[in-house]
């Protein structure tokens, strides 16, 4: 695309470890946009070597001219490669390979949220020590450039809250349940058939993947270092179609949200099904899309929306990190922005507040026998635990079996809600386990 012929500068050579879904996308994107990328960087970016255990499956794109090998270590040992991409996922051998690549002085780009959420401190320490870049844009929000935004775009503000829909599988399942009124297990089975959910879906549907991403978002948004295992995490297995229907009646949509708030004296970070007001932009984020809603002190709310997964969208985030590293290298620059946005030693220490100390509005549903005075007894227990009622739905009357009593509370303490539900569960007229879902009213 250059207007005049000039000697082509040497390409930036990259090694790719993991030639799966995203890796294939990376090879495709780099080839399809080779000229545009060379215009941006000043030289082409080229995958020179690919390591994968499977050398035979047809990925729809030939590895050549890249050298294809089963030996990932050979990429790390190759002095021609400036950057190594890790896309094998999981903890090991990803951790070992990333650390080895850093030790060899290579910039590393990865999409591995689990690795960074759990071993981020060790890996970032190594990268800072060695003076190499560590890019992990693809680990959160797929192709949405949310990490770069937190580190650079919003660097002038102080971010105080993040509400994210960061797992496309869960959002697809909840959107479908909402639209079609079908139960979780059915919709999950369909999603598995369609390739939208894994055969073992627990990392997604139990909220673990969202918690991994939330750990990273929390660090980048607030400049703190939370411990991943301190993040309270609930998935969507227990979301019942009946609660989705009541939510709609009350003006809410149920989403699996990853929520982080900087309260000054403590950090709130949690993943759970959440009712959010219809009319809020997050409530309209459907299907397998992701969105991250960010509140800053000076900026107010901003939102970032896009495809949170998939081969090509995620590949664009990997390639954006490659371009950033290659742009730095083109001018011989040192590391400009540390992996967490601030040097790791400068992260504030902060503990995540225990969930028991959370204050929130709650949606509660009890299945109770349809007898006079039942609501009064439930309300009495709630009142006795300092929980005040905002509204009640008790529609079916004169039924034989238990009927639902739905209560929306005002702001209450999670600890009190837990105790009240346990007490209500012991009432003889109440059948089945009480259901509680947190409501997030103050999203704007």
Residues carrying an active site annotation: 213
Smallest distance from the beta carbon of 114 to a copy of itself, in angstroms?
23
Stretch that binds a copy of itself, among 6-14, 254-262, 341-349, 398-406 (CB under 8 A): 341-349
Q: Which of 95, 113, 148, 213 binds a copy of itself (CB under 8 A)?
A: 148
333 sits near a copy of itself (criterion: CB under 8 A): yes
8 sits near a copy of itself (criterion: CB under 8 A): no
Rg (CA), the chain: 25
Q: Which of 11, 20, 21, 40 binds a copy of itself (CB under 8 A)?
A: 40
Nearer to a copy of itself, 86 or 243 (CB): 86
Q: Which of 21, 33, 242, 441 binds a copy of itself (CB under 8 A)?
A: 33
**DSSP letter string over 120-156?**
HHHHHHHHHHHT--EE-GGGSSTTS-HHHIIIIITTT
Stretch that binds a copy of itself, among 164-172, 185-193, 335-343, 413-421 (CB under 8 A): 335-343
DSSP 8-state symbol, 398: S
Nearest to 235 by CA among 281, 174, 288: 174
Q: What are phi and psi of 259, to 5 degrees?
A: -120, 130
The H-or-E segment that residue 404 falls in is: strand 403-409
3 sits near a copy of itself (criterion: CB under 8 A): yes
DSSP 8-state symbol, 211: H
Neighbours of 293 (CB within 10 A): 23
DSSP 8-state symbol, 307: E
Distance CA 159, CA 300 (A): 9
Smallest distance from the beta carbon of 354 to a copy of itself, in angstroms?
25
Q: Please list, in sequence order, all residues whose beta carbon lies within 8 angstroms of the beta carbon of residue 432, skipping any fewer than 6 positions away.
A: 367, 402
Smallest distance from the beta carbon of 285 to a copy of itself, in angstroms?
8
**DSSP letter string over 312-347?**
HHHHHHHHHHHHHHHHHHHTT----S-TTSS-GGGS
Distance CA 162, CA 135 (A): 21
157 sits near a copy of itself (criterion: CB under 8 A): yes
318 sits near a copy of itself (criterion: CB under 8 A): yes
Report residue 55 as tokens. 């050398």
Stretch that binds a copy of itself, among 255-263, 333-341, 356-364, 420-428 (CB under 8 A): 333-341
Distance CA 299, CA 12 (A): 37
Distance CA 361, CA 409 (A): 6
Q: Which of 348, 395, 410, 442 binds a copy of itself (CB under 8 A)?
A: 348
Smallest distance from the beta carbon of 296 to a copy of itself, in angstroms?
7
Q: Which of 43, 227, 327, 431 binds a copy of itself (CB under 8 A)?
A: 327
135 sits near a copy of itself (criterion: CB under 8 A): no
Nearest to 271 by CA among 313, 223, 229, 322: 229
Stretch that binds a copy of itself, among 53-61, 172-180, 201-209, 312-320 (CB under 8 A): 312-320
Distance CA 206, CA 305 (A): 23
Half-sphere exposure of 406 (CA within 13 A, CB side): 15
316 sits near a copy of itself (criterion: CB under 8 A): yes
Q: What per-residue string of b and e applies to 243-276 under the rule 16 or more CB within 10 Å gives b?
A: bbebbeebebbbbbbbbbbbeeeebbbbbbbbbb
Nearer to a copy of itself, 210 or 307 (CB): 307
299 sits near a copy of itself (criterion: CB under 8 A): yes
32 sits near a copy of itself (criterion: CB under 8 A): yes
Smallest distance from the beta carbon of 131 to a copy of itself, in angstroms?
10
309 sits near a copy of itself (criterion: CB under 8 A): no
Smallest distance from the beta carbon of 297 to a copy of itself, in angstroms?
7
Q: What are the CA-CA distances from residue 390 to residues 142, 234, 257 (Å)?
A: 38, 25, 23
Phi-psi group of 181: left, alpha or beta (phi > 0 → left; psi -120 to 50 → alpha; rest → beta): left
- Segment 191 to 230, residues that bind a copy of itself, using CB under 8 A: 223
Stretch that binds a copy of itself, among 256-264, 293-301, 361-369, 396-404 (CB under 8 A): 293-301
43 sits near a copy of itself (criterion: CB under 8 A): no
298 sits near a copy of itself (criterion: CB under 8 A): yes
366 sits near a copy of itself (criterion: CB under 8 A): no
- Segment 373 to 412, residues that bind a copy of itself, using CB under 8 A: none
Smallest distance from the beta carbon of 268 to a copy of itself, in angstroms?
19
- List residues near a copy of itself by CB under 8 A: 1-3, 25, 28-29, 32-33, 36-37, 39-40, 42, 137, 143-145, 148-149, 152-158, 223, 279, 281, 284-285, 296-307, 312-313, 315-320, 322-324, 327-328, 331, 333-337, 341-343, 345-346, 348
């Amino acid at each position: 695309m250059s207007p005049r012929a000039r000697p082509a500068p040497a390409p930036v050579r990259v090694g790719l470890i993991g030639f799966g879904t995203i890796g294939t996308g990376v090879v495709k994107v780099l080839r399809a946009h080779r000229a545009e990328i060379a215009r941006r960087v000043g030289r082409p970016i080229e995958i020179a070597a690919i390591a994968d255990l499977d050398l035979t499956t047809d990925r729809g794109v030939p590895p050549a001219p890249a050298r294809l090998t089963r030996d990932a270590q050979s990429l790390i040992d190759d002095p021609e490669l400036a950057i190594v991409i890790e896309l094998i996922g999981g903890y090991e051998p990803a951790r070992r390979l990333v650390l080895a690549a850093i030790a060899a002085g290579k910039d590393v780009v990865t999409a591995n949220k689990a690795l960074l959420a759990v071993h981020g401190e060790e890996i970032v320490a190594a990268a800072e020590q060695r003076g190499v870049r560590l890019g992990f844009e693809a680990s959160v929000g797929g192709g949405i450039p949310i990490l770069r935004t937190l580190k650079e775009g919003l660097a002038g503000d102080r971010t105080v809250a993040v509400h994210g829909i960061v797992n496309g599988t869960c959002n697809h399942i909840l959107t479908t349940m909402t639209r079609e009124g079908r139960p979780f297990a059915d919709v999950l089975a369909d999603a598995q058939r369609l390739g939208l959910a894994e055969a073992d879906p627990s990392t997604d549907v139990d909220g673990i993947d969202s918690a991994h991403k939330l750990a990273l978002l929390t660090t980048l948004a607030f400049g703190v270092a939370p411990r991943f295992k301190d993040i309270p995490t609930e998935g969507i297995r227990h979301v019942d179609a009946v609660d989705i229907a009541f939510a709609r009646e009350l003006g809410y949509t149920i989403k699996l949200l990853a929520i982080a708030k900087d309260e000054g004296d403590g950090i709130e970070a949690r993943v759970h099904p959440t009712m959010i007001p219809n009319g809020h932009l997050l409530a309209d984020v459907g299907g397998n899309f992701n969105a991250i809603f960010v509140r800053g002190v000076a900026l107010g709310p901003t939102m970032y929306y896009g495809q949170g997964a998939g081969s090509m969208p995620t590949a664009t985030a990997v390639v954006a990190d490659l371009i950033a590293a290659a742009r730095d290298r083109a001018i011989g620059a040192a590391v400009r922005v540390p992996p967490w946005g601030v040097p790791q030693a400068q992260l504030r220490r902060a503990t995540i507040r225990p969930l028991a100390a959370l204050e929130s509005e709650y949606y509660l549903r009890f299945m109770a026998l349809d007898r006079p005075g039942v609501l009064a007894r439930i309300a009495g227990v709630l009142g006795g635990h300092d929980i005040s009622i905002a509204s009640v739905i008790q529609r079916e009357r004169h039924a034989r079996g238990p009927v639902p009593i739905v209560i929306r509370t005002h702001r209450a303490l999670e600890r009190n809600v837990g105790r009240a539900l346990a007490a209500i569960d012991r009432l003889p007229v109440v059948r089945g386990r009480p259901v509680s879902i947190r409501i997030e009213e103050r999203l704007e």
